[in-house]
Amino acid sequence: MRVDVVGNVNEVRTVDLEGRSVVVIDVLRTTSTIVTALAHHAAGVIATETVPQAKQMIVGNSIRGGERFDKRINGFEVGNSPYEYMSSDIAHKVIILTTTDGTRALIKASRARHILAGAMLNVRAVAAALLELQRNVLLLCAGEQDEFALEDGLCAGYIIEELYRQSNSPLELNDLGIILHQAVSSCHDHIADLIRTSSSARRLDKLGKMHDVTYCSQLNLLDCVPEMREGCELKPYRKFHRRQYV
C-alpha cells in the first residue's frame, strides 16, 4: 500500500486523488467536530465551501454550523467547537457546515474513490477502514490558511503508525510521510504538549478555546469514521461504539 501525505489543501492535485482513499485531516477543529457530531447521532454533515452556499442550502431538519477565522458565523446556530455538537439538540439533525480550511479540503478531495475524515480522536478506526478499503492512501492535511499545520501532520503520522501496527504488509511512504511517522514515534508521550505549542492552538488559546485544543488532542477517543458521499454529505463509514465523552 502506498501512503502519501500532503501538507496543505493547496498542494493537492487531481492526479493525487484519483482511485485513492483520501483522509482529510483538520484536527483543530473541523474533522474533530465532524467526528464528534456523528458520534452524537447527527444524521449527517454536509460540507460547504462558502458562507453563501451554506446559507442558501435548504435541507429538512437541519442546522447551520461553522466559522470564519475561528469565530462563529453570524446567524448560524453553532460554530466549530466540538463541544457545541455534544448536546441532544444535534441528534438526528443534518449539519450544514462551512469552515475556513477543513470543509474546503473535503470538497477538494471529492474526486477521490473514498473520502474519510480523520482526527486524533479516531486514528485507530480510520486506519482499520483504510485497510478494509485496500487502496492507495492520501493523507490530506487541511493546514491553516494554506500553510502546514503541526497538529494535522502529527495526526497523519499517527495514522501511518496505526497502519503499520494493524497490517502485516509493508507501506510505501513519501518523504513527508516518513518524517511525520518518525516524529510521532519519537515524541509519542508528548504529542498533546506539542499540539498545544502549534500556531493553531496558540490562536485558539487567545480566543479562550484551549478546552477545544485539549479535547481534539485526545487519541482514539471515538470509533466513528465519517465518510463523504454524494452531495458532500458525511455519514459514518461503519457502526461504531461509544467509548468516552468529555
- C-alpha grid cell, residue 207: 480566543
Rounded distance between C-alpha atoms, residue 230 and residue 125, angstroms: 22
Specify the pLDDT at position 91.
94
pLDDT at 244: 39
Which H or E run includes 101?
Answer: none
Domain assignment present for residue 242? The answer is no
What confidence tier does 240 reach under pLDDT thresholds 50, 70, 90? Answer: very low
The answer to whether the CB of 28 falls within 8 A of the CB of 213 is: yes
* Average of per-residue pLDDT across 109-124: 97
How far apart CA 61 and CA 94 sit, in angstroms, is: 6
Tell me whether residue 245 is in a domain.
no
Q: Please report whether residue 240 resides in a domain.
A: no
C-alpha–C-alpha distance, residues 152 and 29, integer Å: 10
Asked, as a colleague might, if the bond just before 113 is cis with ω within 30 of 0, I would say: no
Evaluate if residue 245 carries a pLDDT over 60. no
pLDDT at residue number 8: 96
Q: Is residue 241 part of a domain?
A: no
pTM of the model: 0.94
68-89 average pLDDT score: 94
Task: With respect to residue 243, please indicate whether it lies within any of the assigned structural domains.
Answer: no
Q: Classify 62 as helix, strand or coil.
A: strand
User: Residue 69 has what pLDDT?
Assistant: 85
Average pLDDT of the chain, as a whole number: 94
Report if residue 138 sits inside a domain.
yes
Domain with residue 49: its CATH number is 3.90.1560.10
SS3 77: coil
* DSSP label at residue 87: S
pLDDT of 158 over the 50 cut: yes
pLDDT in tens, 204-235: 999 999 999 999 999 999 999 999 999 999 99
Strand 114-118 vs strand 62-68: parallel, antiparallel, or unpaired?
unpaired
Q: Does residue 59 carry a pLDDT above 90?
A: yes
Which residues share a beta bridge with 116?
23, 227
For residues 189 and 45, what is the distance between their CA atoms, to the nearest angstrom? 33
Residue pair 114/227 in contact (Cβ under 8 Å)? The answer is: yes
H or E element, residue 167: none
Structural domain total, the chain: 1
Strand partners, 3: 137, 173
Task: Give a yes or no: residue 197 inside a domain.
Answer: yes
Domain limits at 39? Answer: 2-235
**Residue 213 resides in a domain:** yes
